[in-house]
Structure 1
Amino acid sequence: MPISPNQGSTGGGTLVTITGTNLSNTSAVTFGTRPATSVTNVSPTQVTAISPSGTGSVGVTVTTPGGTSNPVPFFYVGAPFKSSLSASSGPLAGGNTITINGTGLSTATSVSFGGVTATPTVISDTAITVVVPAGAAAGPVSVSVTTAGGTNNGLSYTYIADPTITTITPSSGPASGGTALTVTGTNLDSTTSVTFGGAAAPFAVINTTTLSVVTPSGTAGAVDVVVTNPAGSATAVGGFTYVASPGI
Structure 2
Amino acid sequence: MPISPNQGSTGGGTTVVITGTSLGGATAVKFGTKNATITANTPTSVTVTSPSGTGTVPVTVTTPGGTSNPLQFFYVGAPFKASLAPVSGVTAGGDTVTINGSGLSTATAVHFGATTATPTVVNDGQLTVTVPAGAAPGPVSVSVTTAGGTNNGLTYTYIDAPTIVSLNPTSGPASGGTVVTLTGTNLSTTQSVNFGGTLAPFSVLSDTSLSVVTPAGTAGAVDVTVTTSGGSATAVGGFTYVAGPGI
TM-score range relative to shorter protein: over 0.9
- In 1: Cα distance, 2:214 partner to 2:194 partner: 9
Q: Name the structure 1 match of 2:22.
A: 22
Q: Name the structure 1 match of 2:183.
A: 184
Query: What do residues 172-227 of structure 1 show as CA deviations (whole Å, max 9, x unaligned)?
Result: 11222111121111111111110011111111112221111111111222111111
> Counterparts in 2 of 1:51-70, with a 5 A limit?
51-70=50-69
Q: Name the structure 1 match of 2:132.
A: 133
Further displaced range: 11-20 or 168-177: 168-177
- In 1: Cα distance, 2:129 partner to 2:39 partner: 36
Further displaced range: 71-80 or 90-99: 90-99
TM-score of the superposition, structure 2-length normalised?
A: 0.96
Q: Name the structure 1 match of 2:38.
A: 39
How far residue 247 of structure 1 moved from its aligned partner, in angstroms, is: 3.5
Pairing 1:228–2:227 present: yes
Alignment-mate amino acid for residue 3 of structure 1: I
How far residue 40 of structure 1 moved from its aligned partner, in angstroms, is: 2.2
Question: Over aligned residue pairs, what C-alpha RMSD do you find?
Answer: 1.2
How far residue 30 of structure 1 moved from its aligned partner, in angstroms, is: 0.7
Q: Name the structure 2 match of 1:8.
A: 8
- In 2: Cα distance, 1:206 partner to 1:112 partner: 34
Do 2:164 and 2:183's aligned partners in 1 also have CA atoms closer than 8 Å? yes
Q: Name the structure 2 match of 1:145.
A: 144
Find the residue that maps to 2:241 and give its secondary structure. strand
Q: Name the structure 1 match of 2:119.
A: 120
- In 2: Cα distance, 1:169 partner to 1:92 partner: 29
Query: What do residues 25-71 of structure 1 show as CA deviations (whole Å, max 9, x unaligned)?
Result: 111111001111x2123311111111111100000111112221111
Distance 1:235-1:41 versus aligned 2 partners, 3 A rule: closer
- In 1: Cα distance, 2:53 partner to 2:208 partner: 54
Q: Name the structure 1 match of 2:170.
A: 171
Do 1:25 and 1:41's aligned partners in 2 also have CA atoms closer than 8 Å? no
Do 2:32 and 2:57's aligned partners in 1 also have CA atoms closer than 8 Å? yes
How far residue 231 of structure 1 moved from its aligned partner, in angstroms, is: 3.1
> Counterparts in 2 of 1:227-246, with a 5 A limit?
227-246=226-245
Alignment-mate amino acid for residue 18 of structure 1: I
Alignment-mate amino acid for residue 228 of structure 2: N
- In 2: Cα distance, 1:22 partner to 1:238 partner: 79
Further displaced range: 230-239 or 186-195: 230-239
Alignment-mate amino acid for residue 13 of structure 2: G
Structure 1 gap segments, 5+ residues each: none
- In 2: Cα distance, 1:97 partner to 1:199 partner: 28
Query: What do residues 150-192 of structure 1 show as CA deviations (whole Å, max 9, x unaligned)?
Result: 0011111111221110010111112221111211111111111
Runs (4 or more) in structure 1 with deviation over 4 Å come to none
- In 2: Cα distance, 1:24 partner to 1:65 partner: 9
Do 2:113 and 2:141's aligned partners in 1 also have CA atoms closer than 8 Å? yes
